[in-house]
Chain A
Amino acid sequence: MKLLPLSENTVLILFEQEINHSVFQQVTHCTKKIEADLAEYLVDIVPSYASIQILFNITKISLEEFNNLLNQVIKDTTVDVAEDRSTKIIDIPVYYGLEVALDIKHIAASANISVDEVISIHSSVTYDVYAIGFAPGFAYLGNVDKRIAMPRKETPRKKIRQGSLGIADQQTAIYPSDSPGGWQIVGRTPLSMIDYTEEKLTQFEVGDQVKFHSISQSEYIAMGGIL
């Protein structure tokens, strides 16, 4: 773990540069500690796979003092990572029907398995919310089982519908709004990933865990899903 000042008011904590659960556990643990202990100096915090970027309030504290505080907080956390198992698991309903799962046949064919197997593999894993970025509420979830991991499409689609679930290599994500995109689409959720009018803006935060469960077309529509 390394503390790196990026600018006058931004500091980056770099962990081992690997995408895995144990590195990520340190990220989420440190993030919680920093949010709790250094709240008065925090302006923005961006936890991600293997780093935490912090924008701090330069009018309240010097970079050196802030680094010192940060170092203490980080040092404390390495001790009790093992206890950090109170993670929330959020259940997301997904309709995997072919009319919305635009690339699921292609994934099944490449993996030499049936569409049903793709669904069961995708919905059997508990995913970490590694990061939120790219767009408001766009959560990067991992890791996707290697059997159904697929690279992004060579030519991105011009429009992917809101709620679409995509796979890119060993990551999976839900498009929070209609947008162009190159991920391989395997299903769609009726839930909204971001709502500016709600107090709880997003379905999940970095560090939460997510599980998908397969719903039928009628359940999808009953929950407000659009085909």
Chain B
Amino acid sequence: MSLEVVNAGFLALVQDFGRYGLQKYGITNGGPLDEHAYLWANHLLGNHYNASQIEISFGGFSCRFTKKTMIAVCGADLSATLNGQPLGLWQSHYVKSGDELKFVSPKSGLRSYLAVKGGFQIETQLTSCATVVREKLGGLSKTGEKLSDNDCLPFHESKEELNKRVPKKYIPAYGHKINLRFIANQSVTGCKAEVLKQFIGQPFKVTPNIDRMGYRLSGEPIVNKQAGIISQGLALGAIQLPKDGQPIVLMRDRQTMGGYPQLGCVAYLDIPLLAQSMPGTEVSFSSVAISDIEEELRRYKRFFGVNV
């Protein structure tokens, strides 16, 4: 025993960096919705980028440690406390056997990442322990189930180290108004200029209809004469435009194929901002060229030691 789940809350999932190479069998990537927060949590502890963590959505989660270790919590502010004291986010902390960590409810952002030194020791399924509920894949049970009360997640004990924190400039503010950079798609399965103009020219609202597959937005309906396309792959961050004219941004657990025209694709490094956005958040989009953002992504991957 290492980490005991006292209260699993709304949605707590085991996640690592995700499952790759299996999309051709219809198996999605999974992995952290907010990859930025996830990678910082591992980085603070000197973990491998792929070390498994718990993704806690919306709060209501509490757990007890039965071994000493260093932990880090990054991402949303879910009013976390350690033994009743407010816990500093975006930094590492030492915990001892018997310590209790609680996540209450969202103050800003939606998803918080809990990492332990060395990661949780969870068997992988098809190369990853990322939990995909819909595909009944991964997680502690290897059946895609979310964590439940009394689950135990093993990890290796480790000793106290100096606390580390993420430099302020890398800590995002999860505001009520966000702007996402995106790469427009004007191909035959994309959208025409006049359709894209309607998309860029207005702010949207994040609807309550958000999950690990996709975030539905709402705004002035976008008029598009092209109703459907021949089904093709769906990239992370792809923005689909269904018939009702309301865009959907595809996230980590998305289906691997889709038949709606695509407005474009959200910049990889902006996806975490959307992942943390509560319903009601205002979202606007600005078009960028890939050449302007490609190097930024490469630098980010190198910094965190990510090699995919």
Contacts and interface: CB of A to CB of B under 8 A. Distances in A.
Contacts of A140: 231
A65 to B, nearest CB: 11
A47 B232 CA distance: 8
A48 B231 contact: yes
A209 interface: no
A133 B298 contact: no
A53 B267 contact: no
Given A17-B188, A133-B257, A43 B21 contact: yes
Contacts of B137: 136, 196
Contact of B307 (A9, A19, A47, A57): A57
A139 to B, nearest CB: 8
A143 to B, nearest CB: 13
Contact of B290 (A49, A63, A135, A196): A63
A46 B25 CA distance: 9
Contacts of A55: 20, 23, 235
Nearest to A137: B26
Contact of B232 (A12, A45, A177): A12
A46 to B, nearest CB: 3
A132 B231 CA distance: 10
A216 B136 CA distance: 32
Given A2-B187, A8-B268, A133-B26, A57 B231 contact: no
B226 to A, nearest CB: 11
B230 A51 contact: yes
A44 B183 contact: no
B229 interface: yes
Question: A interface, how many residues as a size bin?
Answer: 35 or more
A86 B227 CA distance: 36
B265 A206 contact: no
Contacts of A42: 21
Contact of B308 (A57, A136, A194): A57
B187 A47 contact: no
Contacts of B302: 59
A202 B25 contact: yes
Given A57-B307, A131-B257, A136-B25, 5 more contacts: A52-B233, A59-B302, A136-B137, A194-B25, A205-B24
26 contacts: A4-B185, A6-B238, A7-B290, A8-B183, A8-B297, A9-B268, A9-B297, A14-B188, A44-B23, A48-B230, A48-B231, A52-B233, A55-B23, A59-B307, A59-B308, A63-B291, A63-B294, A131-B231, A131-B257, A132-B24, A132-B25, A133-B255, A140-B231, A194-B25, A194-B26, A201-B22
